[in-house]
Each structure stands twice: as structure tokens, then as C-alpha cells.
Structure 1
Amino acid sequence: MAWVVLFLAGLSEIVWASAMKQSAGFTRLVPSVVTVSGMAVSVALLAWAMKTLPLGTAYMIWTGIGALGAFLVGVAFLGEALSPARVLAALLIVMGLALMKFAS
């Protein structure tokens, strides 16, 4: 169950990071509220998952899901560049996440 909660925490991180981009430096109300709410949900779920998962593993998985998800949102919806180097970097994150999961 902790792994599911950690995954949800990572998804929440993607939401708040994406909303932060849309908030234009916290000058737009709705994306700003989504950002702060998403942060609170994400950290609360991470804290719950850390009750049973090791700190390093949980934090790495959480940040990895957020980083990879934010990258994908940026490419898919915000017109950010998709280059071979950026794809390789994302694949390395995925490989690191998989290794950390199997090492735990």
C-alpha cells in the first residue's frame, strides 16, 4: 500500500509543478491555489508512505516521478523541446527508479 501512496504522491508532484508553471510566478489565482494544494497533498502522501518505506528510497522515487512527469507534461502540453539528450536523461531517471525499487 505504501508504494501506491508513494506513486500518488509523485503524481501530485507533477500536478503542482505543472500548475506552478501556469501560475506565472504566482500571479494567477487558480494555478497558484492548485500549486499550493498539490504541494500539501504530495508532501502529506510522501510522509504517509515514509512510515514504512526507507527515506532514501521514498524520496528518490517521489522526486523521480515528479521530474519525469514534469518533463513529459512539458513536452506534451507546453511545447518544450524533445531532444535525444533529454530523452536519454529521462530514460536514465526511469532506470534509476526501477533499480531503486528492486533494491528495496
Structure 2
Amino acid sequence: MNNTKTAPYVLWSFYDKINVQHRYILSLCIQYGWSKLHKVTGQEVADLGALDKWLRGTHKSGQSPIKKPLQDMDHKELSKVISALESMTLKKHSNA
């Protein structure tokens, strides 16, 4: 049996710190307001829980155009996610 589904308890927002697109997505999350203080460093970091919900399509502010874990997305799919987050961020800040 070939089970390619991600376990439901695994965050879809797990990222590769070397991947430039993943790092930009985290930056966009912070710009959008999905952030929290890191317990150890006190630095503002992306809220992976909020990103996870958005990627799964269960976040109150909408859903990702690609519903799969970041680690499973190719370059083109990540570009679509980036475009959606950029649009959300721009819209949020233009209404402020």
C-alpha cells in the first residue's frame, strides 16, 4: 500500500530554511500579521499554525490556492502560494 498522504498531525507549514521561496513565504506571513514571539529568542517569527490552517483551507481568512504541504510543492506551486500571500498582504495594508 502506497500511502503518500501527510499525517493529519504534521504541520503543512514545515519549511526548508535553505529554500528561498519558503523563507519568503514566512516573511509574507509576518507582514500579513501571522506572527508570534519566539519563546527562546524573543524574535518575531512566522506563526506556522496560521500558515498550516491556510494551506489546508481551514483558516478564517481564506485558503491557499494549492492545498498541500510546503515540502511537497514544486517551484510553480510555491509561486502561486506566494502570489496569493502577496495579494492578501497588499489588500490588508491598503485598507489600513
The TM tier, using the shorter chain, reads 0.3 to 0.5
TM-score by length of 1: 0.31
Q: Which has the larger radius of gyration?
A: 1
Report which of the two has the higher share of helix: 1
TM-score by length of 2: 0.33
